[in-house]
Amino acid sequence: MAFDKKPWAEPYRIKVVEPLKTTTREHRLAAIRNAGWNTFLLHADDVYIDLLTDSGTNAMSDGQWSRMMVGDEAYAGSRSFYRLEEVCRKYYGYRYIMPTHQGRGAENLLSKCMIRPGQYVAGNMYFTTTRQHQELAGGTFVDVIIDEANNSFSDYPFKGNIDLGKYERLIHEKGAENIAYITVGAPVNMAGGQPVSMENMRAVSELSHRHGIKVVLDATRNIENAYFIQQREAGYADKSIEEINREFCSYSDAATVSAKKDLYVNIGGLVMCNDSELYDKLRSLVVVYEGMPTYGGLAGRDMEAMAEGLIEAVQDDMIASRVRQVEYFGNLLHEAGIPIVTPIGGHGVFLDAKRFYDHLPQNEFPAQKLAGDLYVESGVRGMERGIVSAGRNKQTGDHYYPELELVRLTVPRRVYTQAHFDVAAYYIIEMYNNRHNAHGLRMVYEPEFLRFFQARFEEI
Ligand code: F0G
């Protein structure tokens, strides 16, 4: 085989493996019916290749496992906390660092400290748990992402960007004092892992601060965002991921992080800020919901694994291999003509269910069904990111009807090989050729909060 360009490879080798189990189609059909056609409700033992999420499903390194042995389990003042604090200060740049049990723990604290009931919170698209906590704190979320984000086949390189015009209109309409803050998610999970440019982040920061509005970064996958800036934005090709990540964070006042992604761990979160007044509020609330500010719901060993994970995560070759594996999988599908969100995102490949099942209306949950059908045909588990995830408008009671109706095939870090993605792609291509046989679903059980996790469906 001849190469037209230099191939890449993972900057690690495999030391421990975990066997996978295959099942029959009949077994899987019974399993998905039993799970109410919700892939979240499957038993993981019935799954072959698990692309449900990249959250907490990462493989840790020998360095991380060995640091866990030296974790300090002191209730207060743990040495492991001070190490995590030092590493986070170095790579993110914020003054105050507080661990939480996971990302939504950080979102809960921050929303409670920063939102007065009745205020608005601007953001680039939404994330499910982030918006839920903003609403529970009495806020109303307003989406100010650029229009390109809602077009699954626009090739715009920074589809996560804030539309400055939309944002400015919101400020003028509602008054700056009625906007609690703006959340910038980078990259935007719900848009398909689409990045935010440095130029946009700088402009958002400038505009916000001119009006006295704080900028909160959802830095959950910020290192992936830094990689896209390095690859796509003029002036950044020669900068390291570490430098780019720090510059990006420097335009914000605070950040929440789900460490279960970028930091290569199975559990953990962070809330970080520069302002001592906000930190004082966070510190008084954290003991109610998470634990002491020096452990925030985590064991000392978890904080060690996070610190080590962050040091590994910002290495240029590590992040490059992570994103390139996602790209490899996406290209297999794209080249076969399967409708996916392009450009391919940082943490997964997103099937466009509106185009895949173009015969199903959105209120028959085409993405939910496609995720279920993919599981039945292949044992590959993905998740719905469409009308079910979007939930209901609390004013009107109707579903939100998001433009994007997607199935997310998320790539856990350092877990699967390219061959696993060949197999997944093979089944998806086969299903695409038989796609018009699919029927929709009706929802038969709907939980009040974050319904996508536990809703149940039946075939129509
Ligand atoms: N922000 C983003 C952008 C996320 O993707 C997540 C979690 C959170 C916040 C919340 O963090 O799960 O640690 O409480 N995303 C997972 C996912 C659930 O599968 O995308 P958490």
Spacing, Cα 397 to ligand 1 middle (Å): 25
Find the 390 Cα to ligand 1 centroid distance in Å.
14
**Which residues sit with their C-beta closer than 6 Å to ligand 1?**
53, 55, 102-104, 127, 129-130, 185, 189, 218, 220, 258, 260, 269
Residue nearest to atom 15 of ligand 1 (CA): 55
DSSP summary character for residue 434: T
Instruction: Let me know if 207 is exposed, middle or buried by CB neighbors in 10 A (0-12, 13-18, 19+).
Output: middle
**Which residue, judged by its Cα, is nearest atom 2 of ligand 1?**
220
From the CA of 188, how far away is ligand 1's center (Å)? 11
Does 257 score more than 90 pLDDT?
A: yes
Which atom belonging to ligand 1 lies closest to the Cα atom of 102?
Answer: 13
- CA separation, residue 237 to residues 23, 40, 193, 226, 251 (Å): 46, 39, 20, 11, 20
Residue whose CA lies nearest to ligand 1 atom number 16: 55
Residue 446's CB is within 10 A of a number of other CB atoms, namely 13
CB 148 within 8 A of CB 194: no
Q: How do residues 402-431 score in pLDDT, each as one tens digit? A: 999 999 999 999 999 999 999 999 999 999
Residue 211 C-beta-side C-alpha neighbours within 13 Å: 23
> Distance of CA 158 to CAs 35, 145, 231, 411, Å?
37, 11, 11, 21
Q: How many CB atoms lie within 10 A of CB 253?
A: 20
Rounded distance from Cα 259 to ligand 1 centre (Å): 9
Nearest to 310 by CA among 349, 272, 344, 253: 272
Distance CA 445, CA 457 (A): 7
* Average per-residue pLDDT for the chain: 97
Query: What pLDDT was estimated at residue 191?
Result: 92
Ligand 1 atom nearest to CA at 188? 3
pLDDT tops 90 at residue 170: yes
pLDDT greater than 90 at residue 395: no
103 CA from centroid of ligand 1 (Å): 6
Other Cβ atoms within 10 Å of 135 Cβ, number:
17
CA 439 to ligand 1 centroid distance, Å: 30
pTM of this structure: 0.96
Closest C-alpha residue for ligand 1 atom 9: 103
Backbone angles phi, psi at 160, to 5 degrees: -90, -5
pLDDT digits (tens, 9 = 90+) for 261-278: 999 999 999 999 999 999
| Mean pLDDT for the stretch of residues 174-186 | 98
- Indicate which residues carry an active-site annotation: 75, 127-128, 218, 261, 385, 452
Ligand 1 binding pocket mutation candidate from 261, 347, 350 (most atoms within 8 A of CB): 261
Report the separation in Å between the CA atom of 193 and the middle of ligand 1, taken as the mean of its atom positions.
12
Give me the DSSP letters along 41-68.
GS-GGG-SEE-S-SSS-PPPPHHHHHHH
Q: Which of 129, 383, 389, 452 to mutate to test the pocket of ligand 1 (most atoms within 8 A of CB)?
A: 129
**pLDDT value at position 208?**
98
Residues 6 or more apart whose CB falls under 8 angstroms from that of 244 comprise 198, 226, 229, 230, 236
Banded model confidence at residue 123, pLDDT cuts 50, 70, 90:
very high
Matching residue, tokens 């896209």: 228
Residue whose Cα lies nearest atom 19 of ligand 1: it is 53
Q: Which of 107, 128, 258 best tests ligand 1's pocket when mutated (most atoms within 8 Å of CB)?
A: 258
Which atom of ligand 1 has the smallest separation from the CA of 410? 19
Overall average pLDDT of the 224-229 stretch = 98
- Which protein residue has the closest C-alpha to ligand 1 atom 12? 103
The answer, yes or no, to whether residue 138 has pLDDT greater than 80, is: yes
| Banded model confidence at residue 116, pLDDT cuts 50, 70, 90 | very high
- Rounded percentage of the chain residues whose pLDDT exceeds 90: 98
Element (H, E) at 353: helix 353-356
